[in-house]
A and B are shown apart, each in its own frame.
Chain A
Amino acid sequence: MNLIVSSIGQGLLWALLGLGLYLTFRILDFADMTVEGTFPLGAATAVTAISNGINPFLATLLAIGAGMIAGLITGLLYTKGKIPSLLAGILTMTAIYSVDLRIMGKSNISLLGKPTLFNGNFLQQLPQFFDSVSVGLIVIIIVTVLMMLFLATDYGQGFIATGDNPTMAKSLGIHTDSMINVGLMVSNGMVALCGALVAQSNGYADVNMGIGTIVIALASIIIGEVAFGDLTLNQRLVAVTLGSIIYRLILLAVLQLGFSANDLNLISSVVLAICMMLPQLEKVVHLRKPIMKGVQPHE
Chain B
Amino acid sequence: MRFFIIFLATIGFMVQSSFAAFPDKTIRLIVPWKAGGGTDTIARGFVGAFADAAGVDVVISNVVGGAGSKGVIQVQQAKNDGYTLLLNGTDTIIGLNTFKKMPFTADSFEYVGGMYTTPTYVLANKKRGYTSLMDAIEKSKKRPGELIAGVAAKYNAHDVMAHAINGYAGAKFRIVAFGGGANLKKAVLGNEIDICIIHAPVALAAVKEGILDVIGTGGSLKNITHPPVKNIKTLKELNIPAEIGVTRGLYAPKGTPKAVMEKLSQIMEKAAKSAKFNKFGNNFGFSPVWLTGKQFRALHDDGMGQYADIKAKFMSK
Partners in one complex: no
Which A residues are closer than 8 A to B by beta carbons?
A: none
Which B residues are closer than 8 A to A by beta carbons?
A: none
